[in-house]
Structure 1
Amino acid sequence: MTWEPTLKSPADLVDLRGRVVCISGAASGIGKAQVELFLDAGASVVALDIDDTGLQRLYASLPDHAERLMCKTVDLTVPEQVDQAVAAGKQAFGVIDTLCNTAGYLDGYARSLDTAESLWDRVFEINVKAMYRLTNALLPDMLERRSGVIVNMASIAGFQAGGGGAAYTSSKHAVIGFTRQLSFDYGRSGIRVNAICPGMIETAMTEDVLADPDSKLVKTLKRVPAGRLGRPEDIACVALFLCGPGADFIHGAAMVVDGGLMVK
């Protein structure tokens, strides 16, 4: 049997021309970096976030891509709003064939006894249930076409303690489990599902934790092999690869992107 390459040039690895990508948590941080990078790669983007002002700023900052960008304010904890956002994206672009579940919520590193049930529920509602909800809203069409890509945002907290509190760490373990089960259930039907597990990334969600540059935590984080904290663009680049043709044989992976934090 002779193997024939399916990609004609290295640029084809991340060529998303003709693709329509739905990105949650799109108004800031990693989600915003994904929107910008995916547009540059030729995709059309349905950008979802609860932050209406942030979405307006995002749209205004990308005038050259206005025809390929739709921003939709949505509360992912409300099923009706999720369904409406998906319907609006399909009406705008005809199809949504790629999903980046990027929205997330941090618990302030609260230990179990310090975690109110309402905080636990909030973390799981956004980090896990909203992911399940948005995925299930798009899966039927993907299965009908026998083609689709899903990238879920997990964390190194999905592998080890200390990357968050009790609720956050538990939720990110759940995200990795959900990713693997999706891949197991639907991979043979043409759906490719993977997770990204970032280390500490400089975003609005982590700014309180990283506020003191002289703190023991920040100094420890900067001693990783990469020699710096992570940036949203570091994660967006990996998401772009996982969504592109070059990652066609990657299924059910939980890809660690932490600057080497977990090797110590």
Structure 2
Amino acid sequence: MQVKDKTVVVTGAATGIGRALAMAFARAGARGVAIADLNAAGAATVAAEVQAAVPDCAVFGQAVDVADASAVQALTDEATRRFGQVDVFCSNAGIILRKGLDASAEEWQRIWDINVMAHIHAAKAVLPQMLERGDGYFVNTVSAAGLLSQIGSAPYAVTKHAAIGFAEWLSITYGDRGIKVSCICPQGVQTNMLFGEKGERKGFLQEGSVTPEHVADATLAGMADERFLILPHPEVLEYYRRKGQDYDRWLRGMRRLHEKVMQEFGGIAM
């Protein structure tokens, strides 16, 4: 798919990857971009930035809690009202919880609602109109953690695996009816999630990290080829192959990495 003349919804768009995606879609010729985020002021700011950069693109910002199915439906309805239809739904919002078995049931539920259920809410909201047209695209920001794992965060590793699983099911079930699905699976990206809001965090994924703009460029290229896996870090594919070729060997290597991260970074892998 080429983004030119398409309409796009991007969640988690007030900062980081989401902001870069919104700007990249507009610059690639999208005729409409909806910029959604829990941070209403941030969504409005990015919407103004995108509009200033690409005056011909119809842009609006909207507050949305992606964990709330009714809020995601309202976002879809507003984008459809303004643009006529939603061609691409970029489900980008996500959080990390740097805990293991010490995470509470409430914390598990919160990250599950954002990292997994948000993708499901998006599909329920926009899939009917896409199926009616026989065309549509879901672009879900996941993580290399969904293919590999996440040192220092059981909730992140588990929810990102689940997000990949849902995207696979979506593609299998609806791919022959014109529905395209891509998962963006980067390693370290230079955002607040990686460095902390004040740049105070240190982690091994910072080495080799890429900018949000790099991720956005890789996403446009992946969408043009309609690839399921979009890998801003190409080496992730080799790591994934090694995992499949010899799972036990891969696990031993990950245990060594876990020990190194615990010693050097206090368990913060990102």
TM-score range, shorter chain: 0.7 to 0.9
Q: Gaps (5+ residues) in structure 2?
A: 240-270
Structure 2 counterpart of 1:173: 161
Matching residue's letter, 2:65: D
Pairing 1:98–2:55 present: no
Tell me which amino acid in the other structure corresponds to 2:225: A
* Equivalent in 28, 37, 41 of residue 28 of structure 2: 41
So what's the TM-score if we normalise by structure 2?
Answer: 0.80
Identity %: 30
Q: Partners of 1:164 and 1:239 in 2: how far apart? A: 27
Matches within 5 A, 1:239-258: 239-243=219-223, 246-248=224-226, 250=227, 253-258=228-233
Among residues 83, 87, 91, which one is paired with 2:73 in the alignment? 83
Return the match for 1:260 from 221, 226, 235. Answer: 235
Separation in 2, partners of 1:191, 1:132? 15
Q: Secondary structure at the match of 1:118?
A: helix
Partner of 1:236: 216
Alignment partner of 2:61: what SS? strand
Cα distance between partner residues in 1 of 2:153 and 2:58: 38
1:210, distance to aligned residue in structure 2 (A)? 9.3
Within 1, Cα distance between the matches of 2:75 and 2:206? 38
Return closer, same or farther for 1:172/1:205 CA change in 2, 3 Å cut-off: same
2:139 to 151, 159, 178: 151
Match of 1:3 in 2: none
User: Deviation at 1:53?
Assistant: 1.4
Distance 2:183 2:83 in 1: 25
Q: Deviations over 1:98-145 (max 9, x none)?
A: 1111100111x2112x11111111111001001100121000000000
CA offsets 1:6-25 (integer angstroms, 9 cap, x no match): xxxxxxxx742210011111
State the alpha-carbon separation in 2 of the partners of residues 164 and 33 from structure 1. Answer: 27
Q: State the partner residue of 1:8.
A: none
- Indicate yes or no: 2:100 matched with 1:111: yes
Amino acid at match of 1:37: A
Distance 1:115 1:189 in 2: 40
Counterparts of 1:188 and 1:164, CA distance in 2: 39
Q: Aligned residue for 1:188?
A: 176
Match of 1:126 in 2: 114
Opposite residue 237 of structure 1, the aligned amino acid is: D
Aligned match for 1:65, one of 51, 54, 75: 54
Structure 1 residues 242, 261: closer, same or farther in 2, change over 3 A?
closer
Rounded Cα–Cα distance in structure 2 between residues aligned with 1:28 and 1:129: 21
3-state SS of the aligned residue for 1:257?
coil
Scaled by the length of structure 1, the TM-score of the pair is 0.82
* 1:208–1:183 CA distance, 2 compared to 1 (3 A): same
SS at match of 1:136: helix
- 3-state SS in 2 of match to 1:61: helix
